[in-house]
Chains A and B, each alone.
Chain A
Amino acid sequence: MKEGKMASSFTRILSSKRNVGILSLVGGSVAAGFLLHREHVTAGEPLRRRYPASAEYPDLRKHNNCMASSLTPAIYAKLCDKATPNGYTLDQAIQTGVDNPGHPFIKTVGLVAGDEESYEVFAELLDPVIKERHNGYDPRTMKHPTDLNASKIQSGVFDERYVLSSRVRTGRSIRGLSLPPACTRAERREVERVVVDALSGLKEDLTGKYYSLTLMTEQEQQQLIDDHFLFDKPVSPLLTCAGMARDWPDGRGIWHNNEKTFLIWINEEDHTRVISMEKGGNMKRVFERFCRGLKEVERLIQERGWEFMWNERLGYILTCPSNLGTGLRAGVHVKLPRLSKDPRFSKILDNLRLQKRGTGGVDTAAVGGVFDISNLDRLGQSEVQLVQTVIDGVNYLIECEKRLEKGQDIKVPAPIKQFK
Chain B
Amino acid sequence: MPFGNTHNKFKMNYSAEQEFPDLSQHNNHMAKVLTLDMYAQLRDKETPSGFTLDDIIQTGVDNPGHPFIMTVGCVAGDEETYDVFKDLMDPVIEDRHGGYKPSDKHKTDLNAENLEGGDDLDPNYVLSSRVRTGRSIRGFCLPPHCSRGERRAIEQLSIEALDSLEGDLKGKYYALKNMTEEEQQQLIDDHFLFDKPVSPLLLASGMARDWPDARGIWHNDNKTFLVWVNEEDHLRVISMQKGGNMREVFTRFCTGLTKIEDLFKNRGHEFMWNEHLGYVLTCPSNLGTGLRAGVHVKLPNVSKHEKFGEILKRLRLQKRGTGGVDTAAVGGVFDISNADRLGFSEVELVQMVVDGVNLLVNMEKRLEAGEAINDLMPEQK
Contacts and interface: CB of A to CB of B under 8 A. Distances in A.
Given A86-B9, A246-B5, 10 more contacts: A4-B11, A4-B12, A45-B50, A48-B49, A49-B140, A49-B150, A95-B210, A178-B4, A184-B8, A246-B62
B103 interface: no
A181 B3 CA distance: 7
Given A49-B139, A184-B14, A250 B21 contact: yes
B54 interface: yes
B209 interface: yes
Tell me whether chain B's interface is mostly helix, strand or loop, or mixed.
loop
A21 interface: no
Given A51-B147, A51-B150, A98 B11 contact: no
Contacts of B15: 186
A88 B4 contact: yes
Interface stretch (A55-63, A147-155, A351-359): A55-63
B50 A181 contact: no
A48 B141 contact: yes
Contacts of A45: 46, 48-50
Contacts of B9: 4, 7, 41, 85-87
A186 B19 contact: yes
Given A41-B7, A243-B5, A56 B149 contact: yes
A241 B48 CA distance: 25
A245 B21 CA distance: 14
Contact of A59 (B19, B147, B149, B213): B213
Contacts of A49: 49, 139-141, 147, 149-150, 153
Contacts of B14: 184, 186-187, 190
B307 to A, nearest CB: 40
Contacts of B19: 184-186
A69 interface: no
Q: How large is the interface on A (under 10, 10 to 19, 20 to 34, 35 or more residues)?
A: 35 or more
B110 interface: no
Interface in A9-53: 41, 44-49, 51-52
A99 B209 contact: yes
Contacts of B50: 44-45, 48
B328 interface: no
Contacts of A189: 18
A186 B18 contact: yes
A311 interface: no
Contact of A56 (B10, B22, B139, B148): B148
Contacts of B153: 49, 51, 55
Interface of B: 1-15, 18-22, 46, 48-50, 54, 58, 61-62, 139-141, 147-150, 152-153, 177, 203-204, 208-211, 213
Which of B7, B203, B204, B208 has the largest number of chain A CB atoms within 10 A?
B7
A186 B150 CA distance: 32
A246 B21 CA distance: 11
Nearest to B78: A48
B28 to A, nearest CB: 15
Contacts of A214: 22
A42 B231 CA distance: 30
Contacts of B139: 49
A346 interface: no
A2 interface: yes
Nearest to B4: A182
Given A48-B50, A184-B54, A185-B21, A98 B209 contact: yes
Contacts of A85: 9
Interface in A316-335: none
Contacts of B204: 246
A184 B11 contact: yes
Contacts of B140: 49
10 contacts: A49-B141, A87-B8, A178-B5, A182-B5, A183-B5, A184-B10, A242-B4, A246-B204, A247-B22, A247-B62
A240 interface: yes
Interface in A80-100: 83, 85-88, 91-92, 95, 98-99
Which of B8, B54, B210 has the largest number of chain A CB atoms within 10 A?
B8
A3 interface: yes
A145 interface: no
Given A5-B13, A51-B150, A185-B19, A59 B5 contact: no
A114 B4 contact: yes
A248 interface: yes
A8 interface: yes
B8 A86 contact: yes
Contact of B13 (A8, A91, A182, A243): A8
Nearest to A55: B149
A246 B58 contact: yes
A95 B209 contact: yes
A235 B147 CA distance: 25
Contacts of B62: 245-248
A309 to B, nearest CB: 15
Contacts of A241: 209
Nearest to A38: B9
A189 B11 CA distance: 12
A401 B46 CA distance: 64
A220 to B, nearest CB: 17
A242 B209 CA distance: 10
Contacts of B147: 49, 51, 56, 91
Nearest to B24: A214
A4 B7 CA distance: 12
What are the 5 tightest A-B residue pairs by CB atom distance, in nearest-first order? Answer: A51-B149, A182-B4, A4-B12, A47-B48, A186-B14
A369 B342 CA distance: 62
B4 A8 contact: no
Contacts of A187: 8, 10, 14
Contact of A55 (B13, B18, B48, B152): B152
A366 B207 CA distance: 37
A87 B210 contact: no
B149 A46 contact: no
Interface in A233-273: 240-243, 245-248, 250
Nearest to B50: A45
Interface string A162-195: 0000000000000000100111111101100000
A307 B50 CA distance: 33
Contacts of A4: 9-13
A246 B61 contact: yes
B21 to A, nearest CB: 6
A375 to B, nearest CB: 30
B4 to A, nearest CB: 3
A47 B84 CA distance: 14
A245 to B, nearest CB: 7
Given A86-B10, A98-B210, A247-B21, A59 B150 contact: no
A328 to B, nearest CB: 26
A251 B13 CA distance: 18
Nearest to B13: A4
A247 B61 contact: yes
Interface string A108-127: 00000010000000000000
